[in-house]
Amino acid sequence: MIFQQQYLYWLAGVVLLIVAVMSFRDKANPRRLTTGLFWGLYGLIFLVGDWTYRLANALAGEGPDEKRVLNIIVGLVVVVMALIAGFGGVKLGSYHQRTPQEREVSAKRLGNRLFIPALAIPLVTVIGVLLFNNIPALQ
């Protein structure tokens, strides 16, 4: 199996659709419908990205006009998302956060180990580039 960039887009789309479903189900969020719609549209753009050209070609035949129409449709979806967000339709849901005292106790318990994930990201990136840069299946 050859790794393709599209797999990351599909993963992002699935994660965004899960966020949309969770937003729709959040009864404590007064704007759950618009929040869920925003995240759902965002996820669909990631999921159907490479299929849209094939779909347009199958429905209307090949040509530059079909791609142009498709780009306009995706642009309109992005404008709808911007309008939803711009008019305050996206709100943070109700998440059970720790109290400031609980966070402080946890930070003291973890100490400097709290920074390990942030420091590991660039280290893993450099190691990955150096080790996997010349593998043909990943090209």
Residues 113 and 90 in one domain: no
What integer pLDDT is reported at residue 71 of this predicted model? Answer: 76
Pick the more confident residue, 77 or 65.
77
What integer pLDDT is reported at residue 4 of this predicted model? Answer: 77
pTM equals 0.67
Mean of per-residue pLDDT scores for the chain: 85
8 exposed, middle or buried (CB, 10 Å; 0-12, 13-18, 19+)? exposed
Q: Is the pLDDT of residue 125 over 80?
A: yes
Residues 122 and 87 in one domain: no
What integer pLDDT is reported at residue 50 of this predicted model? Answer: 67
Residues 27 and 50 in one domain: yes
Average pLDDT over residues 112-129: 92
SS3 content of the chain, % helix, strand, coil (to 5): 75, 0, 25
What integer pLDDT is reported at residue 68 of this predicted model? Answer: 72
Residues 2 and 38 in one domain: yes
Q: What is the DSSP letter of 138?
A: G
Residues 137 and 76 in one domain: no
Average pLDDT over residues 126-133: 86
